[in-house]
Amino acid sequence: MEAKNLTVARIKSLIERGEASAVEICQAYLQNLERLNPTIKAYLHTSPERALELAARIDRLKREGTPLPSLAALPMAIKDNILIKGLRSTCGSKILENFVALYNATVIEKLEAAGAVFLGKANLDEFAMGSSTENSAFFATRNPHALDYVPGGSSGGSAAAVASQMAVAALGSDTGGSIRQPASFCGVVGLKPTYSRVSRYGLVAFGSSLDQIGPIAATVKDTAQILRVIAGKDPHDATSLAVAVPDYLEGIEKPVKDLKIGLPREYFRAGLSEVVKNKIQAGLRLLETLGCQMVEIELPHTDYAIATYYVIAMAEASSNLARFDGVRYGLRVRGYSNLSGMYRETRDAGFGAEVKRRIVLGTFVLSSGYYDAYYLKAQKVRTLIKQDFEKAFEKVDVIISPTSPTPPFRIGEKSNDPLAMYLSDIFTITANLVGIPGISVPCGTTPEGLPVGMQILGKHFDEPRLLHLAHIFEQAGGFTL
């Protein structure tokens, strides 16, 4: 059994026709993992016994004549800030190095019920804070297309696992682009759903008003099928909404003639790599040949987006990470003399430099005398950015931009320049501030063979339109421009 270029539909077909068993498919991907992971380092830890047990369950259903579930035997990587009961959930941090989850995230319950097989937990920037997966406390993940380059972040392990055929699909989390940017850098599809579309129960929080779980896969159809499984209201998550979950594959093959595509003037200017710009323009020309109409739009508060995002994200991170103090779970250092010493020494030993930086800055913007000047003002600007998008969507159906202003960069190239790293998210953070869905799809490669990603943004809960356009773009050859 060759574990290569399989899809949700292909796996299910192989099992139903008796051409392969779920266990054989699982074993093939575990072999890929064993061979490739020591170099690429996409996975932090694996769970082969559990994976084979889940696969055997699918084979029992086949023998009993029971219809197979929608994601039968789908080999998946799960970002290590999403809880799977009985498995370590480290968030890429020393402070949770030996923490074992006591319950499943809602998305894990749903995927398991749909027949998915979890191969292991994928590497990430510590607590999802980063754009390169270099901030993991354990090791950096490498880009499968060029091992000296980063895979993006913070879901770099998830994207690298899919791109290297160590999984057919993966789950990531996206707080400011952490699904879409690594999908772009690794040449795969990554979707950030509308905020509240997918339950966050069991996702270790970074920025509670920004975080969203979403799928990463090699094809748009696989992405759509996974989204259908994990979407929906969850009583465990008060921020999830009771909005009907559509069949995201329905009408996905229809023409996209007369679709109005917004091109933000602010996203196609200085700072955008020329090679990325050329690839995106080629993708737009392809969409024009398919009948789409290009409309130039303005998002006038874009210049304030980075500052607004990092004030809000760091403030929420400071609040959320206060729970990791050595008292209830995770690391507790020895030799402290008093309670405050335990807090201080545990957090100093357990958190990495980037997490400490964000906690300090977040605490500062929430502190007395600075709250109004920074955090409250950022929330007001967030409203202005939201209004920019609302006005734009009165004129257009979707908005297209590059996913990242540059192709993948070399490992270590930006690790000592936090501002340069933060600017990698300039095109993705607005979707999180506004709460709208966004998808990154491959849009060719640079002359050096590095992937370029195109981002499509839509209105709240308009994932069907995003997936439709992305699939037609894929079928028309847009991924390989």
Count of C-beta atoms within a 10 Å radius of residue 45: 14
- Which pLDDT does position 336 carry in this prediction? 83
DSSP one-letter string for 116-155? -EEEEEEP-SGGG--SSS---SS----BTTBTTB---SSS
Over residues 124-147, mean pLDDT: 98
Helix, strand, or coil (residue 230): helix
Q: What's residue 419's pLDDT? A: 81
DSSP 314-325: HHHHHHHGGG-S
- CA of residue 121 relative to chain centroid, distance: 14
Q: Name the residues annotated as catalytic.
A: 79, 154, 178
Residue 456: in which H helix or E strand, if any? strand 451-457
Q: What is the mean pLDDT of residues 51-69?
A: 98
Q: Measured between alpha carbons, how far is 163 from 316 in angstroms, rounded to an integer? A: 32
CATH number for position 93: 3.90.1300.10
Is 282 within the bounds of a domain? Answer: no
Number of continuous H segments (helices) and E segments (strands) in the chain? 15, 11
Q: Does residue 423 have a pLDDT over 90?
A: no
**Burial state string for 186-197 with b = 16 or more CB within 10 A and e = fewer than 16:** bbbbbbbbbbbb
**173 and 203 in contact (C-beta within 8 Å)?**
yes
Q: Report the pLDDT value the prediction gives residue 357, as an integer from 0 to 100.
A: 95
pLDDT at 481 over 80: yes
Q: Given this model, what pLDDT does residue 337 score?
A: 85
* Cβ–Cβ under 8 Å, residues 149 and 406: no
pLDDT of residue 418: 84
* Strand extents, DSSP E, 75-224: 75-79, 117-122, 169-173, 189-192, 213-217
| Secondary structure E strands in 333-411 | 398-402
| Residue keyed to tokens 């996409």 | 42
Six-digit token string for 205: 């929080």
> Is position 20 within any domain?
yes
Region of residue 56 (left: phi > 0; alpha: psi -120 to 50; beta: else): alpha
Where does the pLDDT of residue 349 fall: very low under 50, low under 70, confident under 90, or very high at 90 and above? Answer: very high
Mean pLDDT of 265-293: 95
pLDDT at residue 97 greater than cutoff 90: yes
CA–CA dist 469, 413 (Å, integer): 34
Per mean pLDDT, which range of 63-72, 209-218, 365-374, 443-452 is the poorest? 365-374
Contact by Cβ (8 Å): 264, 294? no
Per-residue pLDDT band for 353 (boundaries 50, 70, 90) equals very high
Residues facing 100 on adjacent strands: 88
H or E stretch covering 442: strand 438-445
Strand order in the sheet with 293-297: 43-46, 117-122, 75-79, 169-173, 213-217, 189-192, 438-445, 451-457, 398-402, 260-264, 293-297
User: Is 368 part of any domain?
Assistant: no
Q: Give residue 469's pLDDT.
A: 98
Q: Indicate the burial class of 39 (C-beta count within 10 angstroms; 0-12, 13-18, 19 or more).
A: exposed
Does a structural domain hold residue 328? Answer: no
Domain assignment of residue 92, given as a range: 8-230
Give the whole-angstrom CA distance, residue 296 versus residue 262.
6
* Alpha carbons 465 and 251: distance in angstroms, whole number: 10
* pLDDT for residue 329: 83
Helices 22-40 and 48-64, interaxial angle, to 10°?
160
pLDDT of residue 189: 98
Mean pLDDT in the chain? 97
Per the rule left: phi > 0, alpha: psi between -120 and 50, beta: everything else, 179 is: alpha
Mean pLDDT of 286-295: 98
Answer yes or no: is pLDDT of 99 > 80.
yes
- Spatial separation of the C-alpha atoms in residues 47 and 107, rounded to whole Å: 18
Q: Look at residue 392 and tell me if it is in a domain.
A: no
Question: What is the mean pLDDT of the segment spanning 317-341?
Answer: 91
* pLDDT tens profile 228-237: 999 999 999 9
Q: Whole-angstrom Cα distance, residue 455 to residue 453?
A: 7
Whether 364 is in a domain gets the answer no
**Percent of the chain at pLDDT above 90?**
94
Q: Is residue 446 part of a domain?
A: no
How would residue 271 be classed by pLDDT, with cut points 50, 70 and 90? confident
Distance of CA 296 to the CA centre of its chain: 28
CA distance 165 to 29: 7
Rounded mean pLDDT of 183-190? 98
Structure tokens at 400: 């297209």
Q: Is the pLDDT of residue 7 over 90?
A: yes
**Is 427 part of any domain?**
no
Query: What is the reported pLDDT for 90?
Result: 98
pLDDT at 3: 85
Count CB neighbours of 261 within 10 A.
Answer: 20
**CB–CB of 421/131 below 8 Å?**
yes
Tally of structural domains, the chain: 1
Residue 270 pLDDT > 80: no
